[in-house]
Amino acid sequence: MPELPDVMLYIERLEPRVLGQTLQRARLASPFLLRTVEPPLRNAEGKRVLGLRRLGKRIVFGLEDEIFLVLHLMIAGRLRWRDLGEPVPRKRGLAAFDFASGTLLLTEASTKKRASLHVVRGEAGLAALDPGGLEVLEADAAAFAVALRRENRTLKRVLTDPRLLSGIGNAYSDEILHRARMSPLQRTQNLDDAGVARLHHATQETLREWLQKLRQETGDAFPEKVTAFRPGMAVHGRYREPCPVCGNPVQRIVYAENECNYCATCQTDGKLLADRALSRLLREDWPRTLDELEEMKSERLQSSAERLNDSPGK
């Protein structure tokens, strides 16, 4: 899912292309995209774009007459900038927004169609879509601490809760926690003031650093390779690959449709966090440390070798 750095980059690259431009036409290819009926989408046509902003992980187009188009890309939604009049792709296309300067295509590489478009009028209508999370890049340590401690949750859950912190998802929360050297399952009530300050610093540093990296990679072009899995990431999407800090293999916890990646050496004092599915299956045999995990692997390799040597014909 595009998160704060990705959404900010989209907005920065859209501004010189659509700011001050008139939305000539909005073409919907999927009726499931539009989640509101009042005001109608056609009311946005013929209106100039007066501003662009981010609302959590959403992209907001502010048009004349206080009409706002609010795009939420969800997991698989992506934006493409093309020549004016470009047709909406048949399989993945959801919508096209035509301006004199070009066409903005919205695609989604998923059959579940989770991306959404809301059309609202006025700041009050826009505010109704705001989950209310703290803008972490603008917040000082004190405000961050208040948001963090509002509920007693795991750090992973708090970082990705849009009601508490704005714009952070699965990918960058992994990177933030690795930089802060904190367990994703540590609870907020157990975090002292020094820990909160360290997490606040790691959050701002990680997001700013990645935004700058994305800017440099994209240049003045429109971003075409928006992904949650980037080669320069420390742990996210790097299960079993070496941690860039200590060299030990990155671990993971699998839950629902997501996974949390972490380094046991850097973040959990060498302890392996229980994966729900595997820990239930293995129970008391679930390895608790990296050493136990390596020992288990060695035993399995040895057992496999012995079975091979004892097989008929050997």
Question: pLDDT at position 305, please?
Answer: 46
Question: pLDDT at position 113, please?
Answer: 84
Q: How confident is the model at residue 201 (pLDDT cuts 50, 70, 90)?
A: very high
Find the range with the poorest average confidence among 39-48, 227-236, 296-305.
296-305
Domain ranges of the chain: 4-127, 141-267, 277-310
User: What residues have CB less than 8 Å from 249, skipping those under 6 apart?
Assistant: 239, 240, 241, 242, 243, 290
Find the range with the poorest average confidence among 5-14, 57-66, 76-85, 272-281.
272-281
**Cα torsion for 115, 120, 123, 129, to the nearest 10°?**
-30
State in words which class domain 4-127 has.
alpha beta
On average, the pLDDT of the chain sits at 90
* Per-residue pLDDT at 60 exceeds 50: yes
* Per-residue pLDDT at 303 exceeds 60: no
User: Which residue is listed with tokens 């890049």?
Assistant: 137
Nearest to 75 by CA among 274, 256, 277, 220: 256
What CA–CA distances, in Å, run from 105 to 194, 205, 239? 45, 32, 33
Question: pLDDT at position 295, please?
Answer: 52
The helix (run of H) or strand (run of E) holding residue 13 is helix 4-18
Question: pLDDT at position 309, please?
Answer: 53
Q: How confident is the model at residue 102 (pLDDT cuts 50, 70, 90)?
A: very high
Tens digits of per-residue pLDDT, 216-270?
999 999 999 999 899 999 999 999 999 999 999 999 998 766 789 999 999 999 9
Tens digits of per-residue pLDDT, 128-186?
999 999 999 999 999 999 999 999 999 999 999 999 999 999 999 999 999 999 999 99
Number of neighbouring beta carbons within 10 Å of residue 241: 13
141-267 CATH pick, 1.10.8.50, 3.40.50.10800, 2.40.50.140, 1.10.3720.10 = 1.10.8.50
Question: pLDDT at position 192, please?
Answer: 95
Question: pLDDT at position 313, please?
Answer: 54
Whole-model pTM: value is 0.87
Q: How confident is the model at residue 111 (pLDDT cuts 50, 70, 90)?
A: confident
Question: pLDDT at position 176, please?
Answer: 98
